[in-house]
Structure 1
Amino acid sequence: MSLELNTRLWFQVFLTSAGHWPAVPNVNFSRRLFEATKDLQRARGEAPNGILTEAQVGQMLASASSVLKGWGLRWVPHPTRGRSI
């Protein structure tokens, strides 16, 4: 929970793109999210401790980028609030 809100949400999007988070991103860092993190580590042949190293985060971002580009995600303006979503 010490991660910034946007970081927590993007982390869940990256886990989804890797096939380890079949859920809608939310603001909490739950036991389920901790287990999904360990599943990602196991799938990569790493020690499943639930704590990602900087190198692991970099690898996850690199592998997620191609999947996310295929999804065509982009920021769009909210129709009434004047903010991007």
Structure 2
Amino acid sequence: MAIVAIFLLGIGNFAMHKAVLESGHRMLSQVPGYVHMLGGKATLLTEFLALLAAMLLASTGWTWVLWAYCGYSALNGIAAWLILTDRL
């Protein structure tokens, strides 16, 4: 069950990440060059590796990783909301 929950949270994280990358926010021009490598796909790869690590840990019985990934997703959601609503 934890793997399914983490996977669904991962889908949301990817959607938020892509929306921020496509927003054209002025803050994106101030981030290091690796963020813009391959059109932002380098950071999406990092997002994927975080999701993969969380799912692998959950599959080995480390169910606490679900709560850690929930916290990570909540912080991603707050950051995306701040960026996309131009509050930051």
Q: Shorter chain as normaliser: what TM range?
A: 0.3 to 0.5
* Structure of greater relative contact order (alpha carbons < 8 Å, 6+ residues apart): 2
TM-score by length of 1: 0.32
